[in-house]
Structure 1
Amino acid sequence: MVARYGHFVSYEPPLTAGTLLLWLVPGLFVIAGVALLVARTRRRGGASAALSAQERQRLAALLNKGED
């Protein structure tokens, strides 16, 4: 099959200039996936909205109620 279709059909094609892309793309996908996860995690953990005075009072009341 290699004679007919080239090394692109092999499970382990030899590392040559023509097959370099086959060897690099899986690693690039992994790196891109990790970078995407890190970026999304940082974005979600960003600045949270501050509580208003009324919200702080309600939170304190709820927390004190749980201690009883």
Structure 2
Amino acid sequence: MYQFTIPNMACGGCARSVTKALQGVDADAKIETDPAVHRVSVESPASEAALRAALTAAGYPAS
């Protein structure tokens, strides 16, 4: 399981975009977003690097 902080994820629309980007890497990933604290949790066999790259490409770089 990975947890990422995404500073510019601040609303439901952002959370949907983040979810869509992560599902592009692993359509079966279990994803929980919390825009209130700018955090997303991802349960996936995909690599952390691939997930981070997808987030960055979608305009939501993670720390």
Q: TM-score range with shorter-chain normalisation?
A: under 0.3
From the CA coordinates, give the structure whose radius of gyration is larger. 1
More strand by share: 2
Higher relative contact order (CA 8 A, sep 6+): 2
More helix by share: 1
